[in-house]
Chains A and B, each alone.
Chain A
Amino acid sequence: MSPSSNKSPVRFVKETVQEVRMVARGWRWGRRPLVPRSAEPFQPAKQPTVFPTAWARTPIANAVRDVVQRVGLGPLLRSTVTPQVAGLDVLTKVKGPVLFVANHTSHLDTPLILCSLPDEWRRRTAVAAAADYFFDTWWRASGSAMVFNTFPIERRGGTLSATPGDLLDEGWSVVVFPEGTRSVDGWVSRFRMGAAWLAVEHNVPVIPIGIRGSYAAMPRGRGWPRPGRLPVRVRFGEPIWPAEGEAPRAFAPKIRDGVARLLDEDATTWWDATRRAVRGDTPDPTGEPVASWRRIWAQTAPPVEGRRRGAWK
């Protein structure tokens, strides 16, 4: 190669474009940066920063969010998946604030819950979101606080953010995913104590929610739902109240059982699920300890509604 061609402006521009592309790909511009797996143990712990979200619950922000959710989020959700909601009548039996507690398999879960709620409930519901995931950059934090009314919750530290309790006290219902993160294979994993502690501490009922099909529609790693408007089922359950003087540790299993029973009910019938629950035979929502692919295989099938029975056999 002659030296003159090395300095050719065309070549320079071409190489510049190539390098910018390489950096854009290598450093995942526009996407969440990733740390090589072997480097993860050496990452410095992120300094917890409290991102203020009170502005997202001012009357103006509430009004804007109401429009965004009704005109933008709802239609968008219904155009990409087919939500099927059941059990909403439980909300007639309680008054807010409540804790909505659901299993968590997909980024679809939050918009699904919000868009399933009646308007008067939706307008007074906030969502606990992982501080290290949704609040790591100002634009992601502002966006999620604006659209979903999220507030940051520390899932790695031992201390629980003070905000969810404050919100409950102020009359806001709060959506909590006690697993702390999206399931890797669609099955339910361990529930943390935060939700139980909140319910006991602030004496609010827990409304369990069972979500099926969101893993099949948009599992971890996908940025958009799979094509085909796959069905996703959201089932609300009976409110669970903490008993007088009940410890969070004793109350937590009841929440998990409530969600497990809803998942069973959605796959079968209310009557069958109730009888199984009485017998203590509710299927374990963590699934069978079989090969990983079989677990994923089972969860990636679109959910089938519980057995339909004709009125006339």
Chain B
Amino acid sequence: MSRPGFVLEVDDRTPPLIVHEGEGFRLEKFPTGTRVVYSPESLPGLRDVDGAIRQALDNPENSEPLRALLRPGMKLTIAFDDVSLPLPPMRRPDIRQRIIEQVLTMAAEAGVDDVQIIAALALHRRMMPSELQHALGERVYRSFAPDGLLYNHDAEDPDNLAFIGTTDQGEEVEINKRAAESDLLVYVNINIVPMDGGHKSVPIGLASYRSLRHHHNSHTMVHSRSFMDHTKSAMHHSAWRMGRLLKDHVKIFTVETTLNNNVFPAPYEFLNKREWEWSVRDQASMLAARRGLAIAPSKLKRRIFQNVQAPYGITGVHAGETEAVHEKTLANVFRQQAVEVQGQSDVLIMGVPYLGPYNVNAVMNPILATCMGLGYFFNSYRGQPLVRKGGAVILYHPVPYEFSQLHHPSYVDFFEEVLAESTDPATIEERFEKQYATDPWYIHLYRTSYAYHGVHPFYMWYWAAHAMDHVGDVVWVGADRRAVQRMGFRAASTLADALEMVSGTVGRSPSITYTHNPPHLVADVR
């Protein structure tokens, strides 16, 4: 039986606690009285995953069974979540592979010939062949990729985009043409956080910049409180309007899956456990990992971390009509991640790990570290933020002044040129977004190389807009001073220094909350 999440109050019995910081972690002794939010323990995974998939496809929510929707001569498109999910990548076989194999088996039995499989990556970088093989398996890849029937969505190919229409709020809906013109679009999702899934899948994953700009902007992000709660997220409201419009034009069969919190494999299992329950072996593993990382060259460290593959269990598979499916999916996600927290605090502390959705197999650059800390982690709440309005946020990450030239070319220019002018999301959006979004070189790299779209760093910055609007002070512990200064933040060497630095905002004896994340959690702040 998995134990629920809970809020620890640090006392004299509390050992030092793990704080993630990029490609490493530290042991931190928090001040007495600090609240530490722990996610629920990993739920048991489904024993028969293939059986659960079959059951979901045969008995879908608000829809006919998948078999009944398949017929000879039809146009079938299967779209799936890209490399940004799950985090860390799942140990083989990936759940997308298991679902798509069953969908394809049914399609073959029904005599469907025209099948295409698309990675729904919107403006993310294209998936590499090895990543496609990892996500979909060798069988699917070998059957479809050589004929060009398994490919990455291209949001900058005007010939392969279809304009669907405009919502009642004037939002333009434009998605992948093949998907739009299919008799059936099956979308296979991995719902690792509550932000994912629902109408965020097709209307965003297969969309173009023209469509995305309506919800990926600083205004909606400031008014998404939080974007982990789709009922209170302006971004999701927009995506939902688009999804409802889209469903009148395309038959969509959604398959959503949820994972448990079994994030760290051996020998890093101690990172999944509560520290005071560490066995001697866990303590030894931690010490060995710490000391090993202290002397490992940075390339080796990166390889070690990027090679981590999580032994996730699957907690649910639901299929059918998007909204009905998503409701069940969210219930599963919150069952695994929701923790009740009483009230806000003056200071929120978060440790930013080595990996976010946009740096799989790459370094986490300063903008992505900000997006991870002030975007994803800050927004992991329902109700109200964990930190009070005008409070302070303390983040742990080395924030290296380092960018992947392959994946993040526009980030470098964004960091050097745009942030030098302003760090205000709205100002940046107004003055620079269009230029980056339409830059032919970035578009070329996005379409032909493995680069994120030119506008992507802007979105990452908007992701943090709500936090920047809400908090009064942001300090990074152990960070590169030059890098955080450019982003308008400050760096401290230790937690004590950081608390000293924010004392002007929150006083000398602030209430402190530390979110022990990962494993993922969503705070229900009452």
The chain A residues found within 8 Å of chain B, CB to CB, are 7, 12, 15-16, 19-20, 22-23, 26-27, 33-39, 41-42, 44
Contact = CB atoms under 8 A, between A and B. Distances in A.
Given A15-B294, A42-B3, A37 B9 contact: yes
4 residue pairs, one from A and one from B, having the closest CB atoms: A26-B15, A34-B13, A38-B9, A36-B14
Given A36-B8, A38-B9, A42-B4, 18 more contacts: A7-B295, A12-B294, A12-B295, A19-B290, A19-B291, A20-B287, A22-B27, A23-B283, A26-B29, A27-B15, A27-B276, A27-B278, A36-B14, A36-B276, A37-B9, A37-B13, A38-B6, A39-B8
A41 B3 CA distance: 10
> Which of A16, A37, A38 has most chain B Cβ within 10 Å?
A38
A41 B276 CA distance: 14
Interface centre among A20, A27, A35, A39 (most CB of B within 10 A): A39
Contacts of A7: 295
Contacts of B291: 12, 15-16, 19
Nearest to B284: A23
A70 B286 CA distance: 45
A36 B13 contact: yes
Contacts of A16: 291
Given A12-B295, A27-B278, A22 B16 contact: yes
Contacts of A41: 6
Interface residues of B, number: 24
B7 A38 contact: yes
Q: Which of B6, B8, B11, B276 is the most central at the interface, judged by chain A CB atoms within 10 Å of its CB?
A: B276
Contacts of A20: 287
Contacts of B287: 19-20, 23
A26 B7 CA distance: 20
A244 B286 CA distance: 62
Nearest to A11: B294
B274 interface: yes
A223 B503 CA distance: 41
A309 to B, nearest CB: 49
A35 B9 contact: no
Contacts, number: 56
A23 B288 CA distance: 12
Secondary structure of the B contact surface, majority rule: mixed
A46 B328 CA distance: 34
Contacts of B525: none
B324 interface: no
A41 to B, nearest CB: 8
Nearest to B290: A19
A299 to B, nearest CB: 24
A311 B283 CA distance: 67
Interface in B16-70: 16, 27, 29
A26 B290 CA distance: 16
Contacts of A36: 8-11, 13-14, 276
A33 B282 CA distance: 14
Contacts of B15: 26-27
B45 to A, nearest CB: 19
Contact of B276 (A12, A23, A39): A39
A19 B27 CA distance: 9
B339 to A, nearest CB: 11
Contacts of B274: 39
19 contacts: A7-B295, A12-B291, A19-B287, A22-B27, A23-B16, A23-B27, A23-B286, A26-B29, A27-B15, A27-B276, A34-B13, A35-B276, A36-B10, A37-B11, A38-B7, A39-B8, A42-B3, A42-B4, A42-B6
A16 B287 CA distance: 8
Contacts of B278: 27
Contacts of A35: 13, 276
Contacts of A26: 15-16, 27, 29
B328 to A, nearest CB: 27
Most A CB atoms within 10 A — which of B4, B15, B291?
A: B15
A26 B278 CA distance: 11
A27 B281 CA distance: 12
Given A23-B287, A27-B278, A44-B3, A38 B27 contact: no
Contacts of B8: 36, 38-39
Of B13, B291, B295, which is in contact with the most chain A CB atoms at under 10 Å from its CB? Answer: B13
Contacts of A19: 27, 287, 290-291
A39 B41 CA distance: 14
Nearest to B6: A42
Contacts of B294: 12, 15
A237 B29 CA distance: 52
Contacts of B16: 22-23, 26
A165 to B, nearest CB: 33
Nearest to A16: B291
B36 to A, nearest CB: 9
Contacts of A22: 16, 27
Given A20-B287, A22-B16, A39 B27 contact: no
Contacts of A34: 13, 276
B385 to A, nearest CB: 22
Nearest to A34: B13
A39 B7 CA distance: 8
A41 B278 CA distance: 18
A301 to B, nearest CB: 28
A15 B6 CA distance: 33
Nearest to A6: B294
B284 to A, nearest CB: 9
A41 B8 CA distance: 11
A19 B24 CA distance: 15
A39 B35 CA distance: 11
A27 B15 CA distance: 6
Interface string B283-318: 100110011001100000000000000000000000
A120 B11 CA distance: 48
A241 B196 CA distance: 72
A262 B347 CA distance: 57
A19 B7 CA distance: 26
Contacts of B7: 38
Contacts of A27: 15, 276, 278, 283
Nearest to A20: B287
Contacts of B13: 34-37
A175 B29 CA distance: 43
B10 to A, nearest CB: 7
A42 B40 CA distance: 11
A44 B411 CA distance: 47
A27 B9 CA distance: 17
Nearest to B1: A44
Contacts of B290: 19
Contacts of A33: 276
A39 B290 CA distance: 26
A23 B3 CA distance: 25
A78 to B, nearest CB: 34
Contacts of A37: 9, 11, 13
A268 B291 CA distance: 63
Given A19-B287, A20-B287, A33-B276, A38 B295 contact: no
A106 B504 CA distance: 49
A38 B11 contact: yes
B13 to A, nearest CB: 4
A87 to B, nearest CB: 41
A7 B294 CA distance: 8
Nearest to B35: A38
A12 B294 CA distance: 8
